[in-house]
């Protein structure tokens, strides 16, 4: 008794799982690099301190305050001070979405206070003031 011949196709099945893994790693890498590039976009000379905790790269909204006259950048885009609370609400700032403020060391607190007030008005629960670690700091 003869068995029927099996016809095999010349085209094999392609396993795309490794390709998907590589693409996901590339997406995550580019998102992190983009986030760091946006944070470094405005050349800000951060104040130095010997206390505090080390900030981790997170999903926090980054606000950069720099220059004279004062410029406010939210995720790299310039925002007028009177529009800051509205922009933060539109970006989803609130109890779950923290905000990081990177302010130039030469700015007086009077230039940063309206930014903190706008965060409060937008309902932001967590505001971090970002500094650099001072020499000899912990």
Residue with token string 């885009």? 77
**118 and 65 Cβ atoms separated by less than 8 Å:** no
Residue 2 lies in a domain: no
**37 and 64 Cβ atoms separated by less than 8 Å:** no
Local confidence band at 14 (pLDDT 50, 70, 90 cut-offs): confident
Q: What is the pLDDT of residue 41?
A: 60
Q: What is the pLDDT of residue 137?
A: 53
Residue 82 lies in a domain: yes
Q: Which two tokens stand for residue 106?
A: 């030469």
- Give percent above pLDDT 90 in the chain: 10
Q: What is the pLDDT of residue 19?
A: 93
Indicate the number of domains in the chain. Answer: 1
Q: Give tens-digit pLDDT for 79-89.
A: 888 888 888 88
Residue 11 lies in a domain: no
At residue 24, does pLDDT exceed 90? Answer: yes
**Residue-number span of the structural domain to which 129 is assigned:** 18-133
The predicted model gives 120-138 an average pLDDT of 78
10 Å Cβ neighbour count for 122? 21
Q: What is the pLDDT of residue 72?
A: 85
Helices (H), 3-69: 17-41
Identify which of 7-11, 42-46, 71-75 has the greatest average pLDDT.
Answer: 71-75
Phi, psi of 105 (to 5 degrees): -65, -20
């Amino acid at each position: 008794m003869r068995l029927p011949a099996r016809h095999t196709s010349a085209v094999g099945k392609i396993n795309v799982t490794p390709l998907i893994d590589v693409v996901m790693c590339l997406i995550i890498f580019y998102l992190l690099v983009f986030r760091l590039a946006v944070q470094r976009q405005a050349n800000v000379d951060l104040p130095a301190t010997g206390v505090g905790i080390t900030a981790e790269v997170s999903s926090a909204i980054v606000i950069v305050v720099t220059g004279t006259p004062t410029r406010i950048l939210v995720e790299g885009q310039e925002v007028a001070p009177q529009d800051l609370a509205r922009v933060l609400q539109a970006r989803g700032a609130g109890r779950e979405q923290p905000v990081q403020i990177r302010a130039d060391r030469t700015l007086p607190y009077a230039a940063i206070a309206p930014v903190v007030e706008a965060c409060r008005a937008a309902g932001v629960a967590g505001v971090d003031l970002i500094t650099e670690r001072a020499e000899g700091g912990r």
